[in-house]
Amino acid sequence: MTDRNGVLAGKVVMITGASSGIGEAAARLFAAEGAAVVLMARREKTLDQLAEEIAAAGGRAAVSAGDVADAGDVRRAVATATERFGALDGAFNNAGYAGDKIAPLHELDEAHFDRVMDVNVRGTWNCLRAQIPVMLAAGGGAVVNTASTAAMGATGAPVPYVAAKHAVLGLTRAAAAEYAERGIRIDTLLVGTTRTEMIAQAAEGRPELAEHFVARQMQKRMAEPAEIAEAALWLLSDRASFATGAALAVDGGHTAN
């Protein structure tokens, strides 16, 4: 049920990677907390279904399907926010890709490296470049980029993904510094192992991998997607008014271990 007095009441928030996992949980949560949400990912039918469910619960949602690695697709999603809802107050740049196999560096090819960099790094860059001008014109905004515990060190994820998430952290910090005095807050989430399609695919046929990923998390369990979405909600809300350039660990204690 949508709460017109929720912490995101009156705000328009774009979410990438909204078709599953953390992004989908965020879409439902942000809409329930009063935001109009713009949903972006490649699977359009899945997004349409989610938008219908949000509307049925009394929320507001629009779909702009596309690939975050394509600057034009990202610009269209930003335009959807301003055309449908008249603003872009927040963005959860959450789409990510770990690659289609877990293997040591010397067994991965150029295409693997390029795609992981394109989705995670260029995708975040494309989002920031399209979102920031709209926020500057409006006098401010808030952005949360999804990084990972892999932004802080070697987690056992493939090397290109670890490098890409380090880059997402760098993009966040440098962009936060450039826009902090102009009313835009930009933060990142250091996400720990979370029960989503990404982990299910990585661990398919190799249950020991899932165990390996949670072993360093103090809580010795995976997060549910909604637990990560709650942290993004706070960072995007006005309650996080003094948080910018932050790398907020939501990882069951992984990075402190």
Ligand X SMILES: NC(=O)c1ccc[n+]([C@@H]2O[C@H](COP(=O)([O-])OP(=O)(O)OC[C@H]3O[C@@H](n4cnc5c(N)ncnc54)[C@H](OP(=O)(O)O)[C@@H]3O)[C@@H](O)[C@H]2O)c1
Pairing outcome for strands 247-250 and 184-191: parallel
DSSP state of 196: S
**Residue 11 token pair:** 């705000």
Catalytic residue (one of 85, 92, 125, 161)? 161
- Give residue for tokens 């760098």: 170
DSSP state of 118: I
Q: How far is the CB of 183 from ligand X (least distance, A)?
A: 26
> Cα separation of 119 and 121, whole Å?
6
Q: Is 151 helix (H, G, I), strand (E, B) or coil?
A: helix
Query: Does the annotation mark 161 as catalytic?
Result: yes
Q: Which of 121, 113, 115, 192 is nearest to 152 (CA)?
A: 192
Residue (52 or 238) nearer to ligand X, CB: 52
Residue (70 or 136) nearer to ligand X, CB: 70
Task: Please give the residue ranges that form the binding site for ligand X (CB under 6 A).
Answer: 16-23, 41-43, 67-69, 94-97, 119, 146, 148, 191, 193-194, 196-199, 225
**CA count, 13 A, side-chain hemisphere, 160:** 26
Q: Report yes or no: 236 and 30 within 8 Å, Cβ to Cβ.
A: yes
Q: How far is the CB of 18 from ligand X (least distance, A)?
A: 6
> Cα separation of 122 and 35, whole Å?
26
Q: How far is the CB of 141 from ligand X (least distance, A)?
A: 20
Q: How far is the CB of 9 from ligand X (least distance, A)?
A: 25
The residues that are catalytic are 161
